């Protein structure tokens, strides 16, 4: 298939595909799906080998948010029956983080609900980082605290944070449809602040919110322009009690196409399968590992993932290996640029194009049968997917509870 040969060649050269090529990936048929995965897999192995980076979420403050992000179970007015608690103490957070590290995670993601941190909140997170790094100085710490004010990124960097996550989530043109209490520009500004302070920028998206293919391509190209080191790809978990509870419109095949498109646009960037992995990829999760080089271990912010041991078994069974603390995640050319505090831009991507790339859930998250051998349209999105509400489990263990974390 010419398209896939072209995209593979470009990915191996770290060259930006065209928008049309990115859109064409999303439009491939189910008959072509394994070829798409294989092509994206070649690019993934070129830059990341068979390594899988494990990240571990610690929700420092859950629920009670004044913002109205419609995809989020912690939003203003959410009726989702999630855990609600205010700031964990540093030793509590460090204990949860240690469980993830013991399970194989090399990065801990410290997340707090809210519009953005106060200076007092930065102090709390600094104490938490000190507690985590005091136990194991090799652990990477990423903070995800919302919109940053001036100098807060610098303070986090000084406290030992390695990275900052703030997702763009969706395209600029549809951002106002999912959130009214802050803007797309606010989010771009925070990613720039993180970059400017020398933090490794992590910024991603949420698929499945009713967006078009064009929106998905827009946000992924926008992310690449922000030049993050990691891009989490969330698949919407339509929580009961949130405005998007009925948005069950992803299939495992659609998720794989989206991951492949992100990989082709961001060939040498850490692509992470984030929230919604178990709910939407389901038994196709191992194929996702051929495209993405990073996942979250265990549970998410407000929902439960599969058992941590099941994550580890899946990685091993699929022929991949957990990335060790002594291994560098990014390819040498990007790792060097990050270590040097390069603000990014096209200089590190080697592309002749000007654009260069970029929850979890502060960030966050149909099958149809093929029509047969005709090669014509087969399974396409938009067809009815079963609402797999049975797979959505509100988190009841780990941080903020008396029960052991899942790691
Ligand atoms: S995504 Fe973050 S800012 Fe938005 S409602 Fe959820 S916790 Fe609040």
Radius of gyration, CA atoms only, the chain: 19
* pLDDT for 78: 94
Whether residue 69 lies in the annotated active site: yes
Give tens-digit pLDDT for 208-249: 999 999 999 999 999 999 999 999 999 999 999 999 999 999
Does 75 sit in the ligand 1 pocket, CB within 6 Å? yes
Catalytic choice (14, 51, 72, 263): 72
- Region 346-370: mean pLDDT is 33
Distance 295 CA to ligand 1 centre (A): 21
Does 362 sit in the ligand 1 pocket, CB within 6 Å? yes
Does 69 sit in the ligand 1 pocket, CB within 6 Å? yes
Whether residue 362 lies in the annotated active site: no
| pLDDT band (50, 70, 90) for residue 384 | low
Does 330 sit in the ligand 1 pocket, CB within 6 Å? no
pTM of the model: 0.88
Q: Evaluate if residue 367 carries a pLDDT over 50.
A: no
Phi, psi of 335 (to 5 degrees): -60, -40
Catalytic choice (14, 51, 65, 75): 65
Give tens-digit pLDDT for 137-149: 999 999 999 999 9
Q: Evaluate if residue 371 carries a pLDDT over 90.
A: no
Does 306 sit in the ligand 1 pocket, CB within 6 Å? no
Catalytic choice (254, 272, 334, 395): 272
Does 144 sit in the ligand 1 pocket, CB within 6 Å? no
Q: Evaluate if residue 2 carries a pLDDT over 90.
A: yes
Q: Which pair of structure tokens corresponds to residue 226?
A: 């922000």
Residue with CA at minimum distance from ligand 1 atom 2: 362
| pLDDT band (50, 70, 90) for residue 378 | very low
CATH class held by domain 2-391: alpha beta
Summary mean pLDDT of the chain: 89
* pLDDT for 397: 86
* pLDDT for 223: 98
Catalytic choice (44, 144, 202, 266): 202
Distance 354 CA to ligand 1 centre (A): 32
Distance 124 CA to ligand 1 centre (A): 19
Q: Evaluate if residue 87 carries a pLDDT over 60.
A: yes
Three-class secondary structure of residue 163 per DSSP: strand
* pLDDT for 400: 86
Phi, psi of 272 (to 5 degrees): -115, 130
Residue with CA at minimum distance from ligand 1 atom 5: 75
Buried b / exposed e along 79-117 (16+ C-beta atoms within 10 A): ebebbbbebbebebbbbbbbbbbebbbbbbbbbbbbebb
Q: Evaluate if residue 370 carries a pLDDT over 90.
A: no
Closest CA to 147 of 160, 120, 165: 165
| pLDDT band (50, 70, 90) for residue 353 | very low
Does 152 sit in the ligand 1 pocket, CB within 6 Å? no
Q: Which pair of structure tokens corresponds to residue 335?
A: 């790792």
Does 72 sit in the ligand 1 pocket, CB within 6 Å? yes
Does 113 sit in the ligand 1 pocket, CB within 6 Å? yes
Q: Which pair of structure tokens corresponds to residue 401?
A: 């509870």
Does 257 sit in the ligand 1 pocket, CB within 6 Å? no
Contact 277, 252 (CB under 8 A): no
Whether residue 266 lies in the annotated active site: no
* pLDDT for 402: 86
Residue with CA at minimum distance from ligand 1 atom 4: 69
Give the distance from CA 298 to its chain's centroid: 14
Q: Evaluate if residue 26 carries a pLDDT over 60.
A: yes
Whether residue 257 lies in the annotated active site: no
Whether residue 356 lies in the annotated active site: no
Distance 361 CA to ligand 1 centre (A): 7
Cross-strand pairs, 111: 59, 144
Determine which of 189-198, 276-285, 299-308 has the lowest per-residue pLDDT on average. Answer: 299-308
């Amino acid at each position: 298939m010419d398209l896939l040969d072209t995209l593979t060649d470009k990915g191996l050269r770290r060259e930006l595909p065209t928008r049309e090529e990115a859109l064409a990936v999303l439009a491939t048929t189910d008959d072509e799906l394994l070829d798409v995965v294989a092509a994206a897999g070649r690019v993934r192995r070129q830059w990341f080998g068979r390594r899988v980076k494990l990240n571990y979420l610690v929700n420092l403050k859950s629920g009670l948010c004044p913002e109205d992000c419609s995809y989020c179970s912690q939003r203003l007015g959410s009726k989702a029956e999630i855990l609600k608690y205010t700031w964990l103490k540093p030793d509590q957070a460090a204990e949860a983080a240690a469980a993830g590290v013991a399970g194989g995670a090399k990065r801990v993601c410290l997340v707090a609900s809210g519009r953005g941190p106060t200076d007092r909140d930065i102090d709390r997170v600094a104490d938490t980082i000190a507690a985590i790094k005091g136990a194991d100085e090799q652990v990477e710490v990423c903070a995800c605290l919302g919109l940053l004010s001036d100098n807060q990124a610098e303070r986090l960097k000084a406290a030992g944070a390695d990275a900052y996550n703030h997702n763009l989530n969706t395209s600029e043109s549809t951002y106002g449809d999912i959130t009214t209490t802050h803007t797309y520009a606010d989010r771009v500004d925070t990613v720039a602040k993180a970059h400017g302070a020398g933090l490794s920028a992590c910024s991603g998206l949420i698929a499945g919110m009713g967006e078009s293919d064009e929106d998905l391509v827009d946000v992924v190209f926008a992310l690449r322009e922000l030049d993050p080191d990691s891009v989490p790809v969330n698949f919407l978990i339509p929580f009961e009690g949130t405005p998007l509870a009925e948005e069950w419109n992803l299939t495992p095949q659609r998720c794989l196409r989206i991951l492949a498109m992100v990989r082709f646009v961001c060939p040498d960037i850490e692509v992470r399968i984030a929230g919604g992995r178990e709910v939407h990829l389901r038994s196709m999760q191992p194929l996702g590992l051929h495209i993405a080089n990073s996942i979250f271990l265990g549970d998410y912010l407000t929902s439960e993932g599969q058992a941590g041991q099941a994550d580890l078994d899946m990685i091993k069974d699929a022929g991949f290996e957990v990335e060790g603390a002594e291994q560098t995640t990014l390819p040498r050319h990007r790792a060097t640029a990050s270590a040097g505090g390069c603000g990014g831009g096209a200089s590190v991507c080697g592309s002749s194009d000007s654009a260069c790339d970029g929850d979890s859930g502060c960030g966050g998250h149909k099958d149809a049968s093929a029509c047969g051998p005709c090669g014509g349209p087969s399974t396409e999105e938009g067809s009815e997917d079963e609402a797999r509400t049975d797979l959505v489990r509100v988190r009841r263990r780990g941080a903020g509870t008396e029960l052991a974390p899942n790691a």
